[in-house]
Structure formats: structure tokens, C-alpha cells
Amino acid sequence: MDYKEKMIRQMELKNFSKGTQTTYFSAVNKLCDHFSRQPEEITTQEVEDFIIHLQEEEVLSPSTIHSYINAFKFLFNKALNRRLDRFDIENRRSPKTLPEVLSVNEVKRIIQSADNLRRKVILLLAYSSGLRASEIMNLKIGDIDSKRMMIRVVEGKNRKDRYTILNPHTLNELRAYWLKYKPKNYLFPGKEGDERPACNHMPLKAWRIASKRAGITKGRGIHTLRHCFATHLLEAGVDLRTIQVMMGHSSIQTTSIYLKVTSKQMENTQCKVDLLKYY
């Protein structure tokens, strides 16, 4: 059994998500390419040298290096089970940066600058429902509950299900999108058909095109719209606990970061705020 089969077996036993599996394999493949050898032939010292290379030569972010280290720990300690050569490097701490948040008007400009209906709907879902890119791509027709005005997120981050709000304007655009593209299963099917969703690069591309057309340079990708969702709800008076549930955060501490970027004091506890009332 080669290292790939061992990794797959251990990942299945630990019920890793597909995203985590892809990330781990990508890191290990890069390690093997760097040394032109199989991982069984790579020493712990060489892995440490490779991590230094990632930091100093490729200048990767602490969070990216963190994922590489986790992948290598899993490879050596779990898949290869190298008891006499344990790989135990400390994870890098990311700097405590605050999320970048746009104004309602800036969000409106970006959404209106989408170059087609599909990308416009993707941007709307990211902002008005606070969905991650992967969660948008995995949405199915049945996840849109127009009667309750809610969206069901199945196996979001950490494989947790949750519900979030469905904005009336977003629903109208979703209906127009359905009439035009006629998806049968996934809202955004891949090239192979409705049995698999499109890749997660689609939301990023939608963001890049729309933000460039809108002339807005702020923000760090489509995830910025998710930050805007939480911040604008907080500014509208929605309580932190409700936002935590809709965002799918495990800890209220994660959600509380938006208290540091909000520009207004909370005034009421109204839950279903029309984030796109100025759209």
C-alpha cells in the first residue's frame, strides 16, 4: 500500500471533508515535487527545510503554512506511522487582522457590476445569506426554502448543517436564474452535469470580475461579502448570537470580531433585516 492509499484510508476513518483531503494531497505533492522523491524517502529535517523555504522563498501566509504543517503531520504521524521519526513542528500563528468591510453602497456597486446573471446570483448569496464560496457551490434546488424564506446549508465548514436567511430580492433573482439556466439538482452544476457542482473557483472569478468593473479595490476575495453580511446585520441591530448561528461559527468569540469593525451601535434585535433594501 503506497502513501496515497494510506492517506486515503486514514482520511476516510477520520471522516475528513473532501476539501481537507484535497488540501492535504496538494501539500504532500508539492513536497514530493520539491525533493523529487516519495515521502517515505524524505526525512523530518528535509520537511523542516521545506517549511522554511515556504516561509522565506515563497513567502506564504501563516495560515497557508499552517495547512501545510497539518498535512505533513498527518502524513508522517498517521499515514506513514513513523514512530521513531515523529514529525511535530509547531503551527504558525496568524496575525490578528480584522476583516475588511465594504459599505452597503459599495456592495451594491459590486453586485450590479456582475457580467452575467449566474455570477450576480453567486454574489447575492454570499452577501445576503453570508455563505462561503464552497457552500454556495454545494447548494441544491431543494435547499432553497421560499416558504420559510430560509436557505439550508448542508455540511458546511466542519460538516455542520445550518439555516440562514433568504432575502426576498435574492429569491427573485434565483427564480430568474432558474428560468434561464434550468438547473435540476445543484444550483450551479459542473461541466459533467447536475450530478456534481461547479468548482469553487467560480465565486472567486465572479468577485474579481465584478469588483474590477465596479472600480473597488478593497476586500480580500468573495469572502469579504460574508464579512459584510455579518457586520451590516450587527449594525442593523441583530444580536450576536443570531449572527453566530447564521454564519455557522462554533464559538461566539469568532463572531465577536465584527464588534470591532462595526460603525454603529446596535439599536434593536430585529432578525430578518433586508440587507438589500437599497439595492
Q: So which residues are the catalytic ones? A: 132, 157, 223, 226, 249, 258
- Burial of 244-260, coded b for 16+ CB within 10 Å and e otherwise, reads bebbbbeeeeebebbee
- Burial of 23-43, coded b for 16+ CB within 10 Å and e otherwise, reads bbbebbeebeeeeeeebeebe
CB 166 within 8 A of CB 129: yes
Sequence-distant (6+) residues with CB within 8 A of 127 are: 107, 111, 225, 226, 228, 229, 275, 276
Chain position carrying cell 453580511? 229
